[in-house]
Amino acid sequence: MSLLHSCRCKVARRPRLPQGGEKVAYEIGHPYDTGVMPTGDGHHIYWELYGHPQGKPAVVLHGGPGSGATPYWRQFFDPGRYRVVLFDQRGCGRSLPNAGDDVSALENNTTADLIRDLEALRRLHSIKQWLVFGASWGSTLGLSYAVRQPHSISELVLWAVVLTRSSDVHWITNVMGDVYPHEFDHLLLQLPAYPKDGNIPLAFNQLLRSPDPIVADAAARAWCGWEDRIATLNGPVVPSRRSEDPRLRLGFARLVTHYFGNFAFQRDDAITGSLDRIAHIPTFLLRGRLDVANPLRAAYEVAQGLSDVTLEIVENEGHGAGEETTARLVAVLDKLASE
């Protein structure tokens, strides 16, 4: 049985990639407008507009949870053809309160809350429909948003696709613990006792909420070290910028374990059981074959449930956006801007 037949999706041909130093992505420019949107329940969401004020509307959903909408995300969009809304999700970046400062940032902070923020931002900027662009946790949020608000979305472009189900959380902890046993055992040293339900992120979240800054920081260091291990496919672990910053690593670790430990605050079939609601939305999914942060089957299952979908697999890349992943994303966004 062919992949095309078994997943009922289009598997696109490999595009021509830049050669000899050609530019892969767009030069990162500056936003033309910024602001803060109060949510009415204790949060203030930072947003910015980038590109052309009359361009094709798009919204960026960053990963993490808790990574923030850094300038990095602007490189994928042609600033002459897109009007891009970027925002820091609750508890991170320039949104307040920040989980790196205050555990109150975890209150009123669920997937449903983030979806309400998306709709409020769409209305704030008088957008009827927008393209949803997201990666990693942002793909979970994007799909969750889509099945609840399908009429708000023109297209979905999602990469490093994950679903944040209980089985996916088990994968990134327990299953990967069999791949990296030394680092996994070091992670578990932070826990007073192995959780009976096996929910390691939730147990870590309790430590990360500790009023003792030494306890909280030790847990943050351990969790971010594990994330860095998963992100480094081979060789010595490459620490991320957030791992070296006390405030960033604490906020990131609090938000990730908050969402992972509660399985994105939704049923395991919240996405896969509702794909009929978004079957009409043109969808592009991209995964690295070497992405060990989540099973590739997650993206495959989503593709199986959709009709107007393209699933591409980059054979030699992992969870982050390498050159080929970046080139493919820019190519599909360019194509959609021209339609």
**What string of DSSP letters covers 69-126?**
--GGGGGGS-TTTEEEEEEPPTTSTTSBS-TTT-GGGGTT-SHHHHHHHHHHHHHHTT
Confidence check: pLDDT of 3 > 50:
no
Q: Is pLDDT of 39 > 90?
A: yes
- pTM beyond 0.85: the answer is yes
Q: Is it the case that residue 6 has pLDDT exceeding 70?
A: no
Work out the number of other CB atoms within 10 angstroms of the CB of residue 302. 25
- Phi/psi for 10 (5° steps) reads -85, 125
Residue 7 confidence (pLDDT) above 50: no
pLDDT, average across residues 18-36:
80
268 burial class (0-12, 13-18, 19+ CB within 10 angstroms)? Answer: middle
What local confidence, expressed as pLDDT, does residue 267 receive? 97
Question: Is the distance from CB of 100 to CB of 251 less than 8 angstroms?
Answer: yes
pLDDT for the residue 131: 98
The 8-class DSSP code of residue 12 comes to P
Determine the Cα–Cα distance for residues 49 and 33; give it in Å rounded to an integer.
Answer: 5
pLDDT band at 206 (very low <50, low <70, confident <90, very high): very high
Cα 85 from Cα 155, distance rounded (Å): 15
Please identify which of the residues 136, 139, 240, 243 carries the catalytic annotation.
Answer: 136
Q: How confident is the model at residue 236, as a pLDDT?
A: 80
Torsions phi, psi of 53, nearest 5? -55, -25
pLDDT at residue 23, as a whole number = 58
Active site residue 136: yes
pLDDT reading at 199 higher than 90: yes
- In angstroms, how far is the first alpha carbon of the chain from the final one? 33
| Nearest of 8, 61, 10 to residue 312 by alpha carbon | 10
Position 237 scores a pLDDT of: 81
| CATH class in words for 3-165+268-338 | alpha beta
178 is catalytic: no
Rounded to the nearest integer, the mean pLDDT of the chain is 91
Higher local confidence (pLDDT), 12 or 215: 215
pLDDT digits (tens, 9 = 90+) for 249-269: 999 999 999 999 999 999 999
Domain with CATH 3.40.50.1820 in the chain: 3-165+268-338
pLDDT at residue 19 in the model? 42
How distant, in Å, are the alpha carbons of 186, 247, 249, 272 from that of 241? 21, 11, 9, 34
Contact 151, 277 (CB under 8 A): no
Burial of 338 (0-12, 13-18, 19+ CB in 10 A): exposed
Q: Which residues of 32-64 are buried (b: 16+ CB within 10 A; e: fewer)?
A: eeeeebeeeeebebbbbbbbbeebbbbbbbbbb
Concerning whether 319 is annotated as a catalytic residue, the answer is yes
What's the pLDDT score for residue 235? 77
Phi, psi of 34 (to 5 degrees): -140, 165
**Rounded CA separation 339/334 (Å):** 9
In sequence order, what are the residues at sequence separation of 6 or more whose Cβ sits closer than 8 angstroms to the Cβ of residue 293?
Answer: 136, 160, 162, 172, 230, 231, 318, 319
